[in-house]
Structure 1
Amino acid sequence: MSQPHSTVDRLLADESGRRPRADARRNLERLVEAARTAVAEIGVGVSAHEIARRAGVGVGTFYRRIPSLEMLLETVLDDLLDEIANVADQALEDPDPWSGLCVFAAAYVRLRAESCGVSEALGGACGDALAQRLEDLRGRIRRLVERAQSSGVMRADIAWQDIPFLFAAAATGEHTLGIQASDQQWERNLNVILDGLRPIRPGIPPGAPPA
């Protein structure tokens, strides 16, 4: 995960251009970090009061430092989606198409599993605010899939549009049917999914089975 300073700098860039006091910047950094954790745990419906409470400041300080709740959430989510895009770009440069796809898949599913807000954003919960980000990500996923298929390391009968749904399915909740997920549940799920995409003998899922 990236540090919050990039988000802070982007929010400061929207202000008048005056250099903020050190205490004002610290408050903004606390608010950004609180927003990241709140978005991960609660989702995009988190309130300004909840973010301010987690940051240890008043809601008045929140609105003095942040232009709007919507801008803060969009900026935080934009940075998180940027992390995914960077991983996809690195994966596309990997000389091994299958290895690149697997590295991207692990980062993508991990972030979905760790952040409720990212999962909601990828599902379109933010409307048009992140539409360009999602379009760019679709393009990267398509190139990763087509490159793997062209190399013969991935089944050719799978549409690239299937992949986001399959990867989303790997990021499960902690319980189902009274069964407790293992500590590596999303990794086990993803391993099975990736094995199903290959035209070769499957491997062994990592970690212990669910309790």
Structure 2
Amino acid sequence: MSGTSAAVDRLLAGDAERLPRADARRNVERLVDAARTAVAEVGVDVTAHEIARRAGVGIGTFYRRVPSREALLEAVLAEVLDEMIEVAGRAMADPDPWHGLTEFATAYVQLRAASCGLNDALGRECGLTLEPQLARLRDRIRLLVGHAHEAGVLRPDVPWEDVAFVLASVTTSTRTIGLRAGADQWRRNLRIVLDGLHAAPGR
């Protein structure tokens, strides 16, 4: 299954009893796939029973194949955050600092808009151990903002911490004051935010 190897390897690392069995790995792959979808749709409060149901396995198999619900969610969300950190790394290598920042911001906000669980992990204490990934993500955002400041393309009065908060604010609920958000509302919000952050010539 694509996109699950890092999380699967995290769950199986150091477990010699499960590693040699191909069927065990297949079950873990199914659980990781199901957990990633369930976390995106439901959030970090999704139950082990719901993940097992989506994976097509019994709850007994669930607990034989993964150490705990929390360990499974941590592996899945760590994988998602690692992917976002890679996106930030590519953005840092962009010779155009503003283009790099906007490409990262678009990918970051799109992922937050698509995943309730990622929003949970980034926005509140959720009882999961994700600090190593969060620390690396904070560092990447700080560096991206620093590059944009040095190039004079980002408003100098906006520190990197503010950029992190305004990007988090781009995703909205589906309704406000009786209005319903369109599927691309986050894109419109992001465009407005980025226009406000961009350092106009002579500002």
Using the size of structure 1 for normalisation, the TM-score is 0.89
Distance in 1 of aligned mates of 2:10 and 2:132: 18
User: CA distance change for structure 1 residues 112 and 10 in 2, over 3 Å: closer, same or farther?
Assistant: same
User: CA distance change for structure 1 residues 114 and 152 in 2, over 3 Å: closer, same or farther?
Assistant: same
User: CA distance change for structure 1 residues 127 and 24 in 2, over 3 Å: closer, same or farther?
Assistant: closer
Distance in 2 of aligned mates of 1:48 and 1:115: 18
The superposition leaves residues 99-145 of structure 1 with CA deviations (integer Å, 9 ceiling, x where unpaired) of: 00001001110111111111111124235711222122111111111
Q: Following TM superposition, by how much is the alpha carbon of 1:17 offset from its aligned partner in structure 2, in angstroms?
A: 5.5
Q: Which residue in 2 is equivalent to 1:155?
A: 155
Q: Following TM superposition, by how much is the alpha carbon of 1:198 offset from its aligned partner in structure 2, in angstroms?
A: 1.1
The superposition leaves residues 79-112 of structure 1 with CA deviations (integer Å, 9 ceiling, x where unpaired) of: 0000110011111110000000001001110111
Counterpart mapping for 1:89-168 below 5 A:
89-127=89-127, 129-168=129-168
Distance in 2 of aligned mates of 1:19 and 1:135: 30
Identity among equivalent positions (%) equals 58
CA contact (8 A) 2:70 2:128 kept: no
> Aligned partner of 2:122: which letter?
L
Distance in 1 of aligned mates of 2:127 and 2:199: 37
Distance in 1 of aligned mates of 2:162 and 2:26: 43
Counterpart mapping for 1:52-91 below 5 A:
52-91=52-91
User: CA distance change for structure 1 residues 25 and 128 in 2, over 3 Å: closer, same or farther?
Assistant: closer
The size of the alignment, in residue pairs, is 200
> Aligned partner of 1:132: which letter?
P
Q: Which residue in 2 is equivalent to 1:43?
A: 43
Q: Following TM superposition, by how much is the alpha carbon of 1:65 offset from its aligned partner in structure 2, in angstroms?
A: 0.6
Distance in 2 of aligned mates of 1:32 and 1:151: 41
Q: Following TM superposition, by how much is the alpha carbon of 1:177 offset from its aligned partner in structure 2, in angstroms?
A: 1.9
Distance in 1 of aligned mates of 2:186 and 2:14: 38
CA contact (8 A) 2:39 2:115 kept: yes
Q: Which residue in 2 is equivalent to 1:191?
A: 191
Distance in 2 of aligned mates of 1:24 and 1:151: 51
User: CA distance change for structure 1 residues 159 and 61 in 2, over 3 Å: closer, same or farther?
Assistant: same
Q: Following TM superposition, by how much is the alpha carbon of 1:13 offset from its aligned partner in structure 2, in angstroms?
A: 1.7
> Aligned partner of 1:178: which letter?
G
> Aligned partner of 2:164: which letter?
P
**CA-based RMSD:** 1.6
Give ranges in structure 2 of 5+ residues lacking alignment. Answer: none
Secondary structure of the equivalent of 2:129?
helix
Distance in 1 of aligned mates of 2:124 and 2:85: 17
The superposition leaves residues 120-177 of structure 1 with CA deviations (integer Å, 9 ceiling, x where unpaired) of: 1112423571122212211111111111011111110111110111001111122222
The superposition leaves residues 20-48 of structure 1 with CA deviations (integer Å, 9 ceiling, x where unpaired) of: 43332222111111100111111111111
Distance in 1 of aligned mates of 2:85 and 2:183: 26
Distance in 2 of aligned mates of 1:89 and 1:31: 29
Q: Which residue in 1 is equivalent to 2:200?
A: 200
Distance in 2 of aligned mates of 1:132 and 1:124: 16
